[in-house]
């Protein structure tokens, strides 16, 4: 009997806690709502304008950040190619920026674009509004599939005898895969750091494929590679591009000398849409085999390439070919295939 009474007591306590929790939830919700000022009807279009400026500025900043490998401005502390594309790996050292650093760079570039966007408030000034701007503080955060922009920016809006202050703004840029792009770049650089004089091209391409990202690798000189990671953004109906480079020192990371294996430099080639393309990769060595890293075609084990380009293939493609011999030697060669 006492056990049943004890059970009833426990149920009563649980019920009281549930009711108290529900009451506390609605109390806090109503309290928070009362602290949030309602935007006047005539000020609402200005608030919407700032919100749109924030999103547009963030989207433009992300394009620049991608083209410049995570940087808004060039830094003297980081080596760059042509003053635009940063090295993430430089002669044995990992100098890749952290994700938090790229967050900060996005904030800086977004604020730069935002100030330009907010200069164009003539539409509202013509209606009798005047503006006083405080100091903006922007926080950007890269998370999975989106970028969060949180802006603390006091804007005093005055008209005749009344004034209202807008302060907090937030926008999310959806369908952005910068986090996936960053993780692939990090994987490439960590692999490079582990083995300075040998890189695993197939590993990089496989990782990109698993992440549903496009990876292009171009040889800049005898020791440097340009990495371009790309994906299609359904929100902007365009491709997003992120670039960085690696300098691997000597010996040449791509073409390790091999006594038994030699491959002449492959020239750049053109192919026509709708016409069968045929080519053969020439190499000398013992028991050779060939492989490629491109979705355009499959090279045969004996080095022959045959395929018919379609209209969707138009453009320049960096084609990587790996040649192995029976002694375990390997050479990676790259050439440009232009489809017209």
Res 183 pLDDT > 70: yes
| Residue 317 resides in a domain | yes
Q: Could you say which DSSP state residue 262 is in?
A: B
Element (H, E) at 53: helix 44-67
Q: Which residues pair with residue 164 across a beta bridge?
A: 157
297 within domain boundaries: yes
Whole-number pLDDT of residue 196: 65
Question: Could you tell me if 190 and 183 are in contact, meaning their C-beta atoms sit under 8 angstroms apart?
Answer: no
- What does the alpha-carbon distance between residue 71 and residue 44 come to, in Å, rounded to a whole number? 34
Mean of pLDDT values over 296-315: 92
Give the C-alpha separation, 108 to 101, whole Å.
11
Distance of CA 290 to the CA centre of its chain: 32
User: Looking at per-residue confidence, does 130 or 210 come out higher?
Assistant: 130
Could you give the angle at which helices 99-117 and 44-67 cross, rounded to 10 degrees? 130
Flag whether 224 is in a domain.
no
Contact 53, 117 (CB under 8 A): yes
Quick one: average pLDDT of 237-253?
79
pLDDT at 244 over 60: yes
In the predicted structure, residue 26 carries a pLDDT above the cut 80: no
Greatest mean pLDDT among 153-167, 262-276, 280-294: 153-167
CA distance 296 to 161: 68
Residue 47 scores a pLDDT above 50: yes
Instruction: Looking at the structure, tell me whether residues 51 and 152 fall in a common domain.
Output: yes
**b/e map 10-22, b = 16+ CB within 10 Å:** eeeeeeeeeeeee
Whether the predicted pLDDT of 234 surpasses 80? no
User: Mean pLDDT throughout 254-262?
Assistant: 53
Same domain, 57 and 163: yes
Q: Which residue has the higher pLDDT, 217 or 184?
A: 184
Residues 190-198, mean pLDDT to the nearest whole number: 80
The verdict on 61 and 166 lying in the same domain is yes
pLDDT at 33 over 50: no
Question: pLDDT value at position 14?
Answer: 66
CATH number at residue 333: 2.60.40.10
pLDDT band at 259 (very low <50, low <70, confident <90, very high): very low
For tokens 């570039």, the residue is 109
Alpha carbon distance 102, 72 (integer Å): 9
Q: What is the pLDDT of residues 4-21, one digit of tens each?
A: 455 556 656 665 666 666
The rounded distance, in Å, linking the Cα atoms of 15 and 29 is: 21
Cα torsion for 38, 42, 43, 44, to the nearest 10°? 70
State yes or no: pLDDT of 24 exceeds 80: no
Last residue of a domain, one of 140, 174, 208: 174
Closest CA to 295 of 184, 213, 220, 224: 213
The CA distance from 105 to 31, in Å, is: 36
Would residue 51 count as lying in a domain? yes
Calculate what percentage of the chain has a pLDDT beyond 70: 84
**Least reliable range by pLDDT among 41-45, 114-118, 213-217, 240-244:** 213-217
Is the CB of residue 320 less than 8 Å from the CB of residue 263?
no
Residue 323 lies in a domain: yes
> What's the pLDDT score for residue 337?
95
Does the residue 59 lie in any domain?
yes
What is the model's pLDDT at position 37?
64
Residue ending a domain, choose from 139, 174, 209: 174
Q: Tell me the average pLDDT across 219-227.
A: 84
**52-100 pLDDT per residue, tens:** 999 999 999 999 999 999 999 988 889 999 889 999 999 889 999 999 9
In this predicted structure, the answer to whether residue 289 has a pLDDT above a threshold of 60 is yes
In whole angstroms, what separates CA 45 from the centre of its chain?
A: 32
Tokens (6 digits) for 292: 């490629």
Give the pair of three-digit tokens for residue 268: 């750049």
Answer yes or no: is 215 within a domain: no
Provide the whole-model pTM.
Answer: 0.72
290, two tokens: 């060939």
Give pLDDT, residue 90. Answer: 92
Q: Are residues 145 and 49 in the same domain?
A: yes
Instruction: List pLDDT tens digits, range 102-154.
Output: 999 999 999 999 999 999 898 999 999 999 999 999 999 999 999 999 999 99
- pLDDT-based confidence at residue 264 (cuts at 50, 70, 90): confident
Cβ–Cβ under 8 Å, residues 218 and 228: yes
- Arithmetic mean of pLDDT, 26-31: 48
The domain boundary residue, chosen from 124, 144, 174: 174
Q: Are residues 60 and 163 in the same domain?
A: yes
Q: Tell me the residue range of the domain where 121 lies.
A: 44-74+97-174
Total tally of structural domains belonging to the chain = 2
């Amino acid at each position: 009997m006492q056990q049943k009474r004890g059970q009833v007591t426990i149920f009563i306590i649980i019920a009281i806690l549930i009711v108290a929790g529900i009451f506390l939830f609605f109390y806090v919700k109503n309290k928070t709502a009362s602290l949030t000022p309602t935007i006047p009807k005539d000020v609402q279009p200005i608030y919407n304008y700032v919100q749109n400026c924030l999103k547009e500025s963030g989207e433009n900043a992300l394009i620049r950040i991608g083209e410049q490998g995570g940087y808004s401005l060039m830094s003297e502390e980081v080596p760059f190619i042509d003053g635009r594309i940063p090295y993430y790996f430089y002669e044995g050292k990992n100098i890749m920026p952290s994700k938090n650093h790229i967050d900060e760079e996005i904030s800086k570039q977004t604020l730069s674009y935002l100030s330009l966007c907010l200069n164009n408030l003539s539409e509202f000034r013509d209606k009798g509004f005047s503006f006083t701007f405080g100091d903006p503080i922007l926080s950007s955060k890269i998370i999975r599939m989106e970028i969060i922009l949180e802006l603390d920016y006091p804007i005093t809006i005055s008209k005749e005898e009344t004034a209202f202050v807008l302060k907090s703004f937030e926008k999310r840029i959806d369908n952005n895969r910068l986090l996936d792009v960053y993780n692939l770049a990090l994987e490439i650089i960590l692999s490079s750091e582990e083995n300075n004089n040998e890189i695993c091209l197939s590993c990089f391409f496989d990782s990109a494929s698993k992440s549903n990202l496009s990876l292009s690798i171009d040889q800049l000189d005898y020791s440097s590679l340009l990495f371009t990671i790309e994906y299609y953004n359904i929100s902007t109906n365009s491709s997003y591009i992120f670039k960085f480079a690696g300098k691997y020192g000597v010996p040449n990371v791509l073409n390790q000398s091999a006594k038994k294996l030699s491959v002449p430099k492959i020239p750049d080639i053109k192919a026509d849409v709708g016409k069968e393309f045929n080519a053969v990769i020439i190499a000398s060595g013992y028991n050779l085999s060939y492989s490629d890293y491109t979705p355009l075609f499959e090279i045969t084990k004996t080095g022959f390439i045959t395929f018919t380009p379609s209209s969707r293939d138009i453009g320049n493609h960096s084609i990587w070919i790996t040649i192995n011999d029976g002694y375990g030697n390997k050479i990676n060669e790259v050439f440009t295939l232009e489809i017209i």
